[in-house]
Amino acid sequence: MRAMVCEAFGGPEVLASRTLPDPPPPEPGEVQVRIGARGVQYVDVLMLAGKYQFRPEPPFVPGNEAAGEVIALGEGVSGYRIGDRVMSRHRLGAYAERGNARAEDCDPLPEGMSLEAAAVFRSAYHTAYHALLQRGRLKTGETVLIHGAAGGIGLAAIQVAKLFGATVIATASTEEKRAVCREEGADHAIDYRGGFREPVKDLTNGRGVDIVYDPIGAQVFDESMRCLAWGGRILILGFLGGAPALAKTNHLLIKGAEAIGVRLGGVTEFQPEIGRANMKLLVELAGQGKLRPRIWRRYTLEQAPEALQAVIDRAVIGKAVLVG
């Protein structure tokens, strides 16, 4: 099978197209998937650089989010048949033509969903739902400030927040990105580069926001603390800004606020039954047309380095996907 192999730690250029043996038959509880599309994530960038929490040693095939057709069933698997279309989560190996995944880490595609949309659905929408509804305890009528709003997990957060009755203030760096945020449902979209505290204050009549959804960190986190309303929650999803922020806890004290970590992997590891229930709901909502991944650009498998560089450059609006 064709696969993209990380042969040394580094940037996207360390990926090389190779021909590898097909995966072994699936173990008990697993399915084998003929992969038709793969999501491209910032996690993949970190893993190639050896900077992710899970640090496989080269050579390895990256990628943990895919969609395709079930072609083999391991012992004891029920609920799937050969030929079923599924979205699948892999610990590694999605940047290949075939891969094994635990059956419990797969979900059937709703009617009408393409493999491309399915391949980028799981991590973005499960992250947004878990962050906003379960960690952030979002209530109808609250106001949410979403940073990095034109990215994959940002656009997913806009859709989820609006679906559950929130007012959304999105931040993005260009007018093109802000226009997309508005298209996806954001009530307001602002340029964060000159500072966003005052615009947020104006948009909330001085009250502040109930929830901040922050995958950026660094100075964005510091300024976001000042945007919280009394009893607000700031959700920490990552550090795209380059470094974790040092929380100024006096802001939390004065505002009765909370800083809350969000790690989707913790749900699948420690609360798998909650994770499965979440995905069941999210797939149903996608089938009803209420959640819609936005595909920015399609790349071939061999173009994975180019796709990953676009992620690094923050050029991607929505999600990039590897097909074929």
What end-to-end distance do the CA atoms of the chain give, in Å?
A: 12
In a domain, 275, yes or no: no
Half-sphere exposure of 293 (CA within 13 A, CB side): 27
In a domain, 276, yes or no: no
The pTM for the full model equals 0.95
Three-state SS annotation for 209-250 = EEEEEECCCHHHHHHHHCCEEEEEEEEECCCCCCCCCCCCHH
Domain holding 212, by residue range, is: 124-265
Percent of the chain with pLDDT over 90: 92
Closest among 323, 272, 274 to 299, alpha carbons compared: 323
Please give the single-letter amino acid code of residue 203: L
Q: Can you read off the two tokens belonging to residue 37?
A: 């599309």
CA 198 centroid distance within chain: 29
* Range 231-234, long-range pairs (CB < 8 A, 24+ positions): 231/255, 231/256, 231/257, 232/208, 232/257, 232/258, 233/135, 233/136, 233/137, 233/257, 233/258, 233/259, 233/260, 234/258, 234/259, 234/260
In a domain, 155, yes or no: yes
Tens-digit pLDDT profile for residues 229-279: 999 999 999 988 777 667 778 889 999 999 999 999 899 889 999 999 999
Tens-digit pLDDT profile for residues 279-289: 999 999 999 99
d(CA 40, CA 309): 10
Residue 189 predicted with pLDDT over 90: yes
* Residues 302 and 245 occupy one common structural domain: no
Question: Which pLDDT score is estimated for 315?
Answer: 95
How many independent structural domains does the chain possess?
2
Strands (E), the chain: 2-6, 15-19, 30-39, 65-73, 85-89, 98-102, 106-108, 143-146, 167-172, 188-191, 209-214, 228-236, 258-261, 295-300, 319-323
* Residues 190 and 300 occupy one common structural domain: no
Mean pLDDT of 162-187: 98
Averaged confidence pLDDT in the chain: 96
Mean pLDDT of 36-47: 96
* Residues 136 and 109 occupy one common structural domain: no
As a 3-state breakdown, the chain gives helix, strand, coil percent values, each rounded to 5, of 35, 30, 40
* Residues 87 and 169 occupy one common structural domain: no
* Residues 116 and 181 occupy one common structural domain: no
Tens-digit pLDDT profile for residues 91-128: 999 999 999 999 999 999 999 999 999 999 999 999 99
CATH code of residue 135: 3.40.50.720
Tens-digit pLDDT profile for residues 309-322: 999 999 999 999 99
Question: Which pLDDT score is estimated for 218?
Answer: 86
* Residues 165 and 107 occupy one common structural domain: no
Residue 168 and residue 187 in contact, taking contact as beta carbons nearer than 8 Å: yes
In a domain, 281, yes or no: no
* Residues 111 and 130 occupy one common structural domain: no
Question: Which pLDDT score is estimated for 245?
Answer: 63
Residue 149 predicted with pLDDT over 70: yes
CATH code of residue 27: 3.90.180.10
Angle among Cα 52, 53, 57 to the nearest 5 degrees reads 70
